[in-house]
Chains A and B, each alone.
Chain A
Amino acid sequence: MVLSYTRNKHISTIDCEDDTILSRCTVEDTFFAATVEIVVKLPDMEITSLKGTVDRAFGEECHKAVPLLQKVKGLRIGPGIIKAIEESVGGSEGCPRMADLLWECCNGIILRFTADSIAETLSKEAGEQIEGHKELVRKNPRLIGSCAAFAEGSPLIEGL
């Protein structure tokens, strides 16, 4: 069958020289195309700048959501950021699609750091990897119970 709808979304991060990370999310789907780009300052992960474009949308109203991105400037990526994004950029006075792209940019930065830890663990010999995962949990106790891999009874949290 021919597809009725396609969506292609890409999230990427680049480490910049001034202790900042640039995170960009682009979506191209059958009815909508847009990009959001944020710069985050390390080490406190403060959002220092934002840019966005709506390149294709069903209605003119959709373009009005772009300036709303500036409302999260100065916030830090951490607890409460999802709610802040939903309230500032999403909702009936905003655009849930743009809020979603902004959230993806923030999540991309978190995953960028997770990828470093995971790569370090997976570079160990097979027998040492379990200990590597445990070390990751020791550094991030909130991982316990966060998914099937770190659920009660998992060897990855045994003895912690």
Chain B
Amino acid sequence: MTALTFSRSKLVGIEYLAPDTFLAHGVLNDYMYGLELDFEVKLPSFEIVKIEGEWKRYTTPECPKAIPTLQRAVGWRIFEEGFRRKVNRIIWREGCEHFANLLLECCDAIKWTAFYGEWEEFKEKQSAPNKKEYLRKKLEDIPSLQGSCLLCASKITGE
């Protein structure tokens, strides 16, 4: 039998707390660290309005000092230019790499919830536009995704 030498699991859940507010819950659990994040993002600006973090397991007596640093993220907008750099520079470097990692994971999850979420609603109501039209509209709503990947680039150029 071959045993694992390292394992990390990340679990993210996104819910609508209100029509204009996402609530993200993230859990990271690996051989060394256990941590959780809860934060709220207000629409349409996608601004982080509240954030809480909790350690479950950590490796040094200094790690708990990373928790207050999370409050620096309040007021940041997840689609603003340089958001990832800001998370790495402040939440990671002044706090903790693993909280930064989990925050970015949750923000990515919010991005795709905002991007694809309505598609499922349209399908349920059997009123879905075609995929191309849907993506074109969503790329207007979230301009930072324009040209960000093969899929998004093709919809902009109309290929």
Contacts and interface: CB of A to CB of B under 8 A. Distances in A.
Contacts, number: 171
A1 B16 contact: yes
Contacts of B52: none
Contact of B60 (A4, A8, A96, A133): A133
Interface string B107-149: 0111011001101100000000001000100000000000111
Given A58-B151, A92-B149, A148-B96, A6 B116 contact: no
A95 B149 contact: yes
Given A108-B8, A111-B30, A149-B65, A4 B17 contact: no
Q: How large is the interface on B (under 10, 10 to 19, 20 to 34, 35 or more residues)?
A: 35 or more
Interface of B: 2-17, 22-23, 30-32, 59-63, 65-66, 69, 92-97, 105, 108-110, 112-113, 116-117, 119-120, 131, 135, 147-154
26 contacts: A4-B22, A5-B12, A5-B109, A5-B110, A5-B112, A7-B13, A8-B11, A10-B7, A10-B8, A30-B120, A31-B112, A59-B135, A61-B151, A62-B151, A90-B149, A92-B147, A96-B148, A111-B31, A112-B5, A146-B93, A146-B97, A148-B65, A148-B69, A149-B60, A154-B62, A155-B62
